[in-house]
Structure 1
């Protein structure tokens, strides 16, 4: 939910920067800041309060300038602090803001410390600022290009240098960044932002930058270069789009539907959700989390719809990694049945909006039974769910417009995996080596997701066949059974094809009676301990003439043949595999719905946030 705004102008840019931050407040944040060049020196104002208070500080301190950058940030590790707020400085020369997560920041931090750089924050962002400073040799544009060659992970950055007072440079990889063109009417002013909404009312001329782009923003002119397959930067042209203020296009950008946009935002959403997670600690979930985690010996997850399936996946993690008994309840059912309460239970609610009526009611019911240890995984920091629970982990998926949830689901899984690791640590089950391995895998998720999204053309071909069907089965085993459930739900929601999901071992206990050549059977096939069992289940389908559509890991030794269609996933991802395997299922539902001509973003009879019981 971080936000970036940057500007170069012939007039004071601070009002535009602050207004942009206010337009991005919907994302949620706990710190904000602005930096400018004023009287030949870097100046900044940062705050852990709201943007309105930041504006007051700026006015009191008379901060102004013709060039500047601004940022809103949601901290996910420890207490928010001014020292961790953006913009970050390197010496008295470089100012930088950043969205995303840098996977190799520890390696770079060690290298830069050895060169004499002093770090004043706990963020990975400060590494980028110092690296730009180290590589700067009179040309900021060139220094940023060199810097991006060293970065691994996802990022959108905006940076300026005291020695080049009419130049802001931006770069993106896996995290959105746009260029706004002010034109002659604005005196040649140009802008950068993470979301076109930030520039609503300032300019309607928007350039959507692509992964690998580096942009040089100056008065009345700009240059864009893109990194090619060989790693070299080449000049490129990007289309200028007219985006009317407050129109849907301001958020939709180059995508056909919001759902498609949100599917492709998942690398950025995961990176944002994990921003600042440098180690596994209960305090990721709020003050007092350690005491609460020590006092619980079981977990109860309450959720609805897609959030219920994320909780169902988390049950496998919690019981296998943290060794804590876990039950998952559909919130709308839980409050209406007799259950056996246990005060040593951690009640976990999951909700995108934080306003889901059934889940709120179930939470209150659990508390009324004496289960007072509560935690929510939620996408809206100001929601009722966050206010009602003792602890919270705020996912940072950003605004999700499409009714069929995509990026909210994968960020929920990321938050739940962190919860699993934190509980395992408190219970003495997470070694330092295991923690390091899990964190490394999580930091790589944005890059791994980008590779999965590259499978879209293959999924489109399958969708053409699915669009002519009226029924489908989805199969998964173990940890991936909830992913099969989610895949079936997505297809139902937006294509109106009847779809059901089963544990693959249950086929012969009933569902196999439905299998014919007209029944496509989607199979989630990671290379895990259940793979050989799953292959046997697949043979049961083929023996009845069923058509198999298999999402298989590269090393699963499942080959395409008559009646067996295979799309290979780029890599096996162990415990985090569900986060990758759900993405092609989202794409399959999306493209099938497009082929059938349904209203993808607003499917019939459904609403985004269910606030009535």
Structure 2
């Protein structure tokens, strides 16, 4: 859904004044578009991208006065002030369907490029991370003894994936918090805490308020965001932009994979700074990440049977999702997508929780997606999840399995198997998520629903 437009096109001799006050900044973000003989005001660059790619983000408590030829920025006392000028690196065609039936379908197919663009320019020829945009003293990052990831919805599931990777590579305790719960539980935050916020729009109110609270407690803050000039990056100490391009559909797809990719880069960068893993290991992970876009494309090119299955299941009333390790947040995201756009009851569970309650939901014909971990890296986990598949199959469930290529152990117990290319375990969410996105979009389409603008939902939640 396009960003809400409050664009002011200033004709020659016309004069307009807008202010960005601290209390209301999160509700009314302002970006200035700099044109030739025309200037613009909008809540987001998409409001004027057809006319100019030059933009200026305003700071807190600033007033901007524009005419067709001039832009004057001051503080509340009239003293001259400066905004931050930047260039928008996507073009208007990125915000069009490009021949697809929906924006969501297009954005699912944009994912190879979204991952590529997020990786681009962030490592050198020696395979070392160069995140120059993280304007935080490296010595301060070396002192971090706890990381808290703040996000909501799909972004929170990206944070859950980040937790596995960051703790594995950096050996720093990492928590994932729903942003709307964070400041109400009196969290323990200090100067050695790094708070990482994740938001596609950069305007999510719950996340913004949590970031403000964390900064008040002395924490350093880094935002992972897809929108230049948005409020959360402005109010964070540093930002890692995902460069996924505009995401129009309400249900997030490519931004999710880009967020995970950016989180991997952040984790590797911290590990590099702190000397937790050898440079050769970082180079190997970056090489594996570089193969991900081609792997995603392969999944997209071979999605025909998955789409056919989705269409055949359009009358289902409930679908369950199971995953373990990094497959758990993938299961949660798969369930969320089905809820958001197909309006079907869907729940994601940690596979190990099956016997602690959820198995009671299994009845004859109940569809269950199972995200199976690779047998190569964690064979014990693989065996446990295969055992879960056997258990639910014995109780009459329809077992729909996502596994890596070459995993023949699951075939005997699966009604349908959808294979993804082999990749290291920690990177698997970048692949195993894609079939679940395709399934949800195709099923919702078969039901005749608008997958781009599902009922009761907005692209950016700007109220608490």
| Count of residues in Structure 1 that have an aligned counterpart in Structure 2 | 386
Selected match of 1:603 from 440, 454, 460:
454
1:22 and 1:370, CA in 2 relative to 1: closer, same or farther beyond 3 A? closer
Q: Counterparts of 1:456 and 1:580 in 2: how far apart (Å)? A: 13
Q: Secondary structure at the match of 1:321?
A: helix
1:29 and 1:306, CA in 2 relative to 1: closer, same or farther beyond 3 A? farther
Q: Counterparts of 1:461 and 1:437 in 2: how far apart (Å)? A: 37
Per the alignment, residue 139 of structure 2 pairs with 291
Q: If you compute each CA radius of gyration, which structure gives the higher value, 1 or 2?
A: 1
Residues 194-209 of structure 1: matches in 2 within 5 Å? 196=93
**Residue 102 of structure 2 is aligned to residue 264 of structure 1:** no
- Deviation string 1:427-479 (CA, Å, 9 cap, x unpaired) is 21121211211121122221111111113212112202331211111000001
**Residue 50 of structure 2 is aligned to residue 23 of structure 1:** yes
1:25 and 1:469, CA in 2 relative to 1: closer, same or farther beyond 3 A? farther
User: Residue 289 of structure 1: CA displacement?
Assistant: 4.4
1:516 and 1:381, CA in 2 relative to 1: closer, same or farther beyond 3 A? same
Per the alignment, residue 370 of structure 2 pairs with 523
1:288 and 1:334, CA in 2 relative to 1: closer, same or farther beyond 3 A? closer
Per the alignment, residue 575 of structure 1 pairs with 426
Q: Counterparts of 1:284 and 1:23 in 2: how far apart (Å)? A: 30
1:583 and 1:27, CA in 2 relative to 1: closer, same or farther beyond 3 A? farther
Per the alignment, residue 449 of structure 1 pairs with 296
**Residue 151 of structure 2 is aligned to residue 303 of structure 1:** yes
Q: Secondary structure at the match of 1:307?
A: helix
Q: Counterparts of 2:413 and 2:433 in 1: how far apart (Å)? A: 25
Q: Secondary structure at the match of 1:501?
A: strand
**Residue 346 of structure 2 is aligned to residue 319 of structure 1:** no
**Residue 345 of structure 2 is aligned to residue 345 of structure 1:** no
1:365 and 1:73, CA in 2 relative to 1: closer, same or farther beyond 3 A? closer
User: Residue 24 of structure 1: CA displacement?
Assistant: 8.1
Q: Counterparts of 2:51 and 2:431 in 1: how far apart (Å)? A: 28
**Residue 177 of structure 2 is aligned to residue 329 of structure 1:** yes
Judge conservation of contact 1:282–1:423 (CA < 8 Å) in 2: no
Q: Counterparts of 1:262 and 1:276 in 2: how far apart (Å)? A: 22
Judge conservation of contact 1:307–1:352 (CA < 8 Å) in 2: yes
1:562 and 1:338, CA in 2 relative to 1: closer, same or farther beyond 3 A? closer
Q: Secondary structure at the match of 1:606?
A: coil
Q: Counterparts of 2:52 and 2:278 in 1: how far apart (Å)? A: 38
User: Residue 369 of structure 1: CA displacement?
Assistant: 2.3
Q: Secondary structure at the match of 2:308?
A: helix
Q: Secondary structure at the match of 2:458?
A: coil
1:24 and 1:474, CA in 2 relative to 1: closer, same or farther beyond 3 A? farther
Judge conservation of contact 1:317–1:420 (CA < 8 Å) in 2: yes
Per the alignment, residue 99 of structure 2 pairs with 254
1:509 and 1:24, CA in 2 relative to 1: closer, same or farther beyond 3 A? farther
Judge conservation of contact 2:331–2:348 (CA < 8 Å) in 1: yes
**Residue 381 of structure 2 is aligned to residue 538 of structure 1:** no
- Deviation string 1:469-524 (CA, Å, 9 cap, x unpaired) is 11111000001101111111001100011110111111111000010123100011
Judge conservation of contact 1:466–1:520 (CA < 8 Å) in 2: no
Residues 86-125 of structure 1: matches in 2 within 5 Å? none
Selected match of 1:356 from 199, 204, 218:
204
**RMSD value, Cα:** 2.6
Judge conservation of contact 2:163–2:174 (CA < 8 Å) in 1: yes
Per the alignment, residue 83 of structure 2 pairs with none
Q: Counterparts of 2:422 and 2:395 in 1: how far apart (Å)? A: 31
- Deviation string 1:319-367 (CA, Å, 9 cap, x unpaired) is 1111110001000111222222232100110000000000001111122
- Deviation string 1:26-67 (CA, Å, 9 cap, x unpaired) is 69899xxxxxxxxxxxxxxxxxxxxx99xxxxxxxxxxxxxx
Selected match of 2:234 from 362, 374, 387:
387
Judge conservation of contact 1:284–1:393 (CA < 8 Å) in 2: no
**Residue 298 of structure 2 is aligned to residue 401 of structure 1:** no
Selected match of 1:482 from 329, 353, 366:
329
Q: Secondary structure at the match of 2:261?
A: helix
**Residue 267 of structure 2 is aligned to residue 438 of structure 1:** no
Structure showing greater relative contact order (alpha-carbon pairs closer than 8 Å, 6 or more residues apart):
2
1:294 and 1:27, CA in 2 relative to 1: closer, same or farther beyond 3 A? farther
Judge conservation of contact 2:152–2:179 (CA < 8 Å) in 1: yes
Q: Structure 1: which 5+ runs fail to align?
A: 1-14, 16-20, 31-51, 54-71, 75-98, 100-193, 198-249
1:262 and 1:25, CA in 2 relative to 1: closer, same or farther beyond 3 A? farther
Q: Counterparts of 2:239 and 2:248 in 1: how far apart (Å)? A: 23
Residues 454-469 of structure 1: matches in 2 within 5 Å? 454-469=301-316
Judge conservation of contact 2:203–2:231 (CA < 8 Å) in 1: yes
TM-score by length of 1: 0.60
Selected match of 1:494 from 336, 341, 353:
341
User: Residue 368 of structure 1: CA displacement?
Assistant: 2.1
Per the alignment, residue 551 of structure 1 pairs with 402
TM-score by length of 2: 0.78
Q: Counterparts of 1:524 and 1:475 in 2: how far apart (Å)? A: 6
User: Residue 590 of structure 1: CA displacement?
Assistant: 0.4
1:559 and 1:476, CA in 2 relative to 1: closer, same or farther beyond 3 A? closer
